[in-house]
């Protein structure tokens, strides 16, 4: 029924066109008409995504035409039931236009004049001066871990991997890395990446009702599922409400500093322009 309705609408448009509803110049390109407004073939260029099948293309075009006709019908209904005053949007359009002009000018000013270079020292200073902005909402941690396939989890192999993982002796992590490569174990060592506790749980099966106590009570733990034995060493952690590490906040700080510079640049421009207009007596307040 939907397709029939669309075809009927388009057919009506062409019938009307044949009765001189269209001008000769309109007739060749128009595919629909409603209340004196035309939809042209050029209006549907680009509507169909590349690679669409013939059936899909036909349906997409029909849907587009149907939506266009429906919009014209509703628009005509609205225009017939609103007063001229209710349809007068000149003030709103002028305000919107002015906002777009100012926004475009400010964007171009920022593009040309904004200093986007931010030193590490500036980032660190902002971090140190604003600790209240970097309170953690979740527990986070850094871990080194080894995943031993259950099929090859011989007790002596697991014990050796655990000993090397827990060790602070120089060279033991290198030995662990060699053991992982030799025994086809999955290792993640000397990992500086911070994870939320929930992110860690996606890779390592840990069940606890108290994340904070879990983190504070151990530096190493072993767990398993049906596929792997997991050996995990917690190398660092921070609990919620403590200050987030700088490495996690660097990009956020960079964005904040850039945004502040943008605001300062715009404010300076506005002040300079206003002062110049004042000196030139370009405006009066009555």
Which tens digit of pLDDT belongs to each residue from 216-275? 999 999 999 999 999 999 999 999 999 999 999 999 999 999 999 999 999 999 999 999
Q: Predicted confidence band at 25 (pLDDT cuts at 50, 70, 90)?
A: low
Q: Residue 88, Cβ neighbours under 10 Å: how many?
A: 11
What is the per-residue pLDDT across 165-190, written as a single tens digit (0 to 9) for each? 999 998 999 999 999 999 989 999 88
Give the 3-state secondary structure of residue 181.
Answer: helix
- At residue 192 the predicted structure's pLDDT band, cuts being 50, 70 and 90, is confident
Question: What CA–CA distance (Å, rounded) separates 125 from 246?
Answer: 11
- The set of residues, in sequence order, having a beta carbon less than 8 Å from that of 28 and lying 6+ positions away, is none
How is 225-243 classified by DSSP, letter by letter? -SSEEEEEEEEEEE-TTSB
Q: How far apart are CA 6 and CA 35, in angstroms?
A: 17
What is the CB-side half-sphere exposure of residue 171 using CA atoms within 13 A?
0
* Cα–chain center distance at 58: 33
Q: Where do the H-state alpha helices sit in 19-150?
A: 24-27, 54-81, 90-113, 120-129
Q: What are phi and psi of 221, to 5 degrees?
A: -150, 160
Structural domains of the chain ordered from first start? 2-81 (no CATH), 120-131+245-279 (no CATH), 136-238 (3.10.50)
Residue 3 scores a pLDDT above 90:
no
Q: Phi then psi for 245, rounded to 5 degrees?
A: -65, 150
Full-model pTM: 0.70
pLDDT above 80 for 24 = no
Give Cα separations from 268 to 6, 105, 106 (angstroms): 57, 14, 11
């Amino acid at each position: 029924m939907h397709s029939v309705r669309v075809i009927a609408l388009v057919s009506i448009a062409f019938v009307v066109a044949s009765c001189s509803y269209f001008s000769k110049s309109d007739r060749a390109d128009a595919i629909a008409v409603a209340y004196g407004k035309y939809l042209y073939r050029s209006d549907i260029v680009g509507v169909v995504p590349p690679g669409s099948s013939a059936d899909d293309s036909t349906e997409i075009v029909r849907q587009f035409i149907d939506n266009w006709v429906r919009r014209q019908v509703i628009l005509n209904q609205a225009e017939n039931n609103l007063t001229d005053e209710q349809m007068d949007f000149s003030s709103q359009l002028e305000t919107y236009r002015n906002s777009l002009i100012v926004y475009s000018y400010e964007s171009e000013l920022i593009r040309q004049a904004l200093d986007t270079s931010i030193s590490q020292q500036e980032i660190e200073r902002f971090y140190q001066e604003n600790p209240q902005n970097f309170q953690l909402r979740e527990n986070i941690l850094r871990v080194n871990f080894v995943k031993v396939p259950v099929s090859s989890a011989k007790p002596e192999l697991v014990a050796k991997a655990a000993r090397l993982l827990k060790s602070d002796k120089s060279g033991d992590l290198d030995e662990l890395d060699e053991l992982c490569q030799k025994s086809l174990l999955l290792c993640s060592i000397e990992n500086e990446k911070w994870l939320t506790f929930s992110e860690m749980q996606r890779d390592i099966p840990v069940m606890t009702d108290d994340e904070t106590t879990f983190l504070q009570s151990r530096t190493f733990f072993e767990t398993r599922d049906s596929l792997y034995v997991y050996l995990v060493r917690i190398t660092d952690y921070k609990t919620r409400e403590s200050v987030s590490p700088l490495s996690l906040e660097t990009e956020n700080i960079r964005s904040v500093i850039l945004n502040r510079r943008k605001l300062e640049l715009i404010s300076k421009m506005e002040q300079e322009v206003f002062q110049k207009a004042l000196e030139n007596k370009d405006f009066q307040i009555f």
